[in-house]
Structures are given as structure tokens and as C-alpha cells.
Amino acid sequence: MSTVSEITERFRQALDYAARKHAMQTRKASDVPYLSHLLGVCSIVMDNTQDEDVWIAALLHDAIEDQGGELTATDIEHHFGKRVADLVRGCSEMTAVGDIPRPPWLERKMSYMADLPGSEAAILLISVADKLHNARNVLSDWLRCGDEAYCRFTTGKSGTHWYYHEIISRYRESKKVPEHLLRELEVTVERFAPEKVELSDLEIP
């Protein structure tokens, strides 16, 4: 564990790495650079730990999933060490393998959530920070646009609501997520998804 209270050259290199890896990526159905999300997640993580490896993994938490799979994981390990790469692996959903596309949305989500309760605390911290930052954006869009905000999600309103309620349950089950972050996530989700959606009621194309 690398505990710091200042911004090091290693962290600056990770920031540059994230900016380059996601340079052409934007937030869903918007022109907002994807880096804004990575910085938002990292900010939440930095408020809750002084472990630089976890800061860096927060910046890179979507790099394996969105930008190259295991080849990117190997590259992250080369630049930032095995622990950072393993943390990012732990934050990643199932990816494409070779010419085989990645599995459908529901299969990916179910696999990811199944592993969460047994994950180490650092992975859960990054994960809940990721979901909290996303939920804040969903709430903001919903307050501004109403249910039209869900048009950017493949699974629409029902899938979005189901996933947030389900993953909150997994965080609770783990007993390793900081209580104040989990409570903020619950309160945020309750505002745009006050009622839980059952799996059988999902409307997934």
C-alpha cells in the first residue's frame, strides 16, 4: 500500500494515462469528455483514503472494460504495478475476448454483482464511488428532463432502477462499503427510483 497526502509524479502519470486512454470517449449521449467521470470518481475516493494505489485505480477503473481488455490490464500493471492492475480488474465487468463480443447487459451485471460482496474493501470503495457519481448524474438529468433522461440507457428506466437497487443490496451484504457513501447512494437513488423493480419486470431489448 502506498499512502500519500500529496500529488506525486506517479499520480500525475496516471492522470495523463487516463486522459490518453479515454481521449475519444464521451459520457453517454453527450459531448462531455469521459474524463469528467473518472475525475469525479477519483475525487470521491481521494476523500476517503490516502492510498495512492486506490486513487490511481479509481482514475483507471474503466480502462480495462472500455479500452482494451486484458491487454490494457497488462499495460497498467507495467506502468503502475500489479496491485493497481488487480484493483482495476476487480472493478471491471466482463469484456470481449478476441473476436467474441462481450456478453449481454444483464449477464454482465449479474456476474459483476455476484463477485462484489467478496471483493476487498478498496475495490468496493472504487465501485461505490463509481455508482454514486453515476447516480448523481442520473438524478441531475432526471430533474432536468424527466423520464426522457433514460433514453440514453440501453435498458431504459426499468433496467436502470433495478440495477441501482440491486447493487445497493450487494454493497450492504459486503459490510465493507463506507456507510456514509452507501447512505448517500441510497438517498440519491431513492429520489429518481423510489420503488424497487423486480428482475421479472425488466424491459431489456
Task: Examine the residue annotation and report whether 66 is marked as an active-site residue of this protein.
Answer: yes
The three cell numbers of residue 116 are 462484489
The number of CA neighbours under 13 Å toward the Cβ of 160 is 21
Q: Which of 62, 65, 86, 130 is catalytic?
A: 65
Q: Is the dihedral of CA 34, 186, 129, 164 positive or negative?
A: negative
Q: Which of 66, 77, 166, 184 is catalytic?
A: 66
Q: 127: which residues sit within 8 A by CB, 6+ positions away?
A: 91, 116, 119, 171
Task: Examine the residue annotation and report whether 62 is marked as an active-site residue of this protein.
Answer: no
Q: 120: which residues sit within 8 A by CB, 6+ positions away?
A: 90, 176
List residues with catalytic annotation.
65-66
